[in-house]
């Protein structure tokens, strides 16, 4: 059962501080309402993975590792490779995280990242079929949250894309009835670049890239994922609060604009790999 979460561990004075500052158009970390925190992307840290990226978004730290293996397709899509996204909220990333089966927060995070990649058709799954019904390439996208200072969805989607863009895979070909695995590595075909941008709403103010304190105070958030043509490919509203339709339209506009900028940063980090 999904249950109302416990009240956030944030003092009333701090809450009031955040809200009072926002009323003046200011934020606790001196950002403007539509400023993103510093974004640092490092790729290729994990040599044993097919691709990897460590993302630092302010103090939020998320790593994604890509593993590419040969496997069998789903019966309903015999000619397509398989994409699976999983998210792990590592227990040391926050005092609120605990070991155990994935929480609904972890599931939501993985599914929103998955939706962006899948719906923008970022991975050409048809091209990953080696032999219909028998052998296809499986791409495991494992998102590892290492330090939780807010806005995990954006950080995770950035790290997933950066890891995918820099992934290399073996060439699998049919050799008679057997699958032949080539030695040389080829880049994973990435056909689109989805970027998730999250807007949080605190007492009528709309802010981009909420940090943890802001997330604890926000009434709701809206994530809008856009592709390289600025089409919207995924959305997710979260939190107990609401949005007016005007606020939604504004969040979409902001996500399209900011998405372009973040996409360039990711391209820069992935270039030459």
Partner 1 sequence: MNKPEVKLVDENGVRLDGRKLDELRPIKMDVGVLDKADGSAYIEHGKNRIMAAVYGPREAHPKHIALADRAVIKCRYHMAPFSVEERKSPAPSRRELELSKVIREALENSVMSEAYPRTSIDIFIEILQSDGGSRCAGIAAASLALADAGVPLKEIVAACAVCKIDGKIALDPSDIEDKQGDADLPIAFMPKSGVITLLQMDGSLTEQEFNQALDMGITACKKISEIQVEALKRKYISVKEQAEERHEAQEAKA
Residues in contact with partner 1 by the rule CB under 8 A: 1-4, 6-7, 77-79, 104, 107-108, 110-111, 115, 118-120, 220, 222, 227, 230-245, 248-249, 252-253, 256
Q: Cβ–Cβ contacts within 10 Å for residue 67, how many? A: 18
Of 70, 184, 73, 201, the residue nearest 126 (C-alpha): 73
C-beta separation of 33 from 240 below 8 A:
no
Nearer to partner 1 by C-beta: 170 or 228?
Answer: 228
Nearer to partner 1 by C-beta: 4 or 47?
Answer: 4
Q: Based on the number of CB atoms within 10 Å of its own CB, is 238 exposed (0-12), middle (13-18) or buried (19 or more)?
A: middle
CA atoms in the 13 A half-sphere facing the CB of 202 = 28
Nearer to partner 1 by C-beta: 91 or 204?
Answer: 204
Task: Quote the least distance from Cβ 237 to partner 1, whole Å.
Answer: 4
The pair of three-digit structure tokens given for residue 227, joined into one six-digit string? 């592709």
Task: Quote the least distance from Cβ 143 to partner 1, whole Å.
Answer: 14
Task: Quote the least distance from Cβ 269 to partner 1, whole Å.
Answer: 25
Nearer to partner 1 by C-beta: 106 or 145?
Answer: 106
Judged by DSSP in three states, 57 sits in strand
Our CA angle for 229, 233, 238, nearest 5°, is 135
Nearer to partner 1 by C-beta: 64 or 223?
Answer: 223
Task: Quote the least distance from Cβ 1 to partner 1, whole Å.
Answer: 4
Judged by DSSP in three states, 75 sits in coil
Task: Quote the least distance from Cβ 120 to partner 1, whole Å.
Answer: 7
């Amino acid at each position: 059962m999904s249950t109302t979460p416990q009240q956030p561990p944030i003092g009333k004075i701090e809450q009031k501080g955040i809200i009072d500052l926002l009323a003046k158009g200011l934020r606790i970390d001196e950002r403007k309402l539509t400023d993103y925190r510093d974004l640092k992307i490092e790729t290729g840290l994990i040599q044993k993975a097919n691709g990897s990226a460590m993302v630092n978004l302010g103090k939020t730290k998320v790593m994604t590792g890509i593993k590419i293996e040969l496997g069998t397709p789903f019966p309903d899509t015999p000619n397509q490779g398989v994409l699976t996204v999983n998210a792990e909220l590592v227990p040391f990333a926050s005092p609120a995280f605990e070991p155990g089966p994935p929480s609904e927060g972890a599931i939501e995070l993985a599914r929103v990242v998955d939706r962006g990649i899948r719906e923008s058709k970022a991975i050409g799954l048809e091209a990953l079929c080696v032999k219909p019904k028998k052998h296809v390439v499986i791409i495991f996208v494992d998102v590892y949250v290492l330090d939780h200072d807010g806005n995990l969805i954006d950080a995770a989607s950035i790290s997933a894309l950066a890891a995918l863009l820099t992934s290399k895979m073996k060439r699998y070909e049919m050799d008679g009835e057997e699958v032949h695995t080539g030695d040389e590595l080829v880049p994973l075909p990435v056909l689109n670049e989805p970027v998730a941008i999250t807007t949080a709403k605190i007492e009528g103010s709309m802010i981009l890239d909420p940090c943890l304190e802001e997330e604890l105070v926000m009434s709701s958030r809206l994530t809008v994922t856009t592709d390289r043509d600025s089409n919207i490919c995924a959305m997710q509203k979260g939190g107990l609060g609401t949005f007016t339709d005007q606020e939604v339209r504004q969040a979409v506009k902001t996500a399209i604009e900011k998405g372009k900028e973040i996409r360039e940063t990711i391209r820069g980090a992935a270039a030459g790999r």
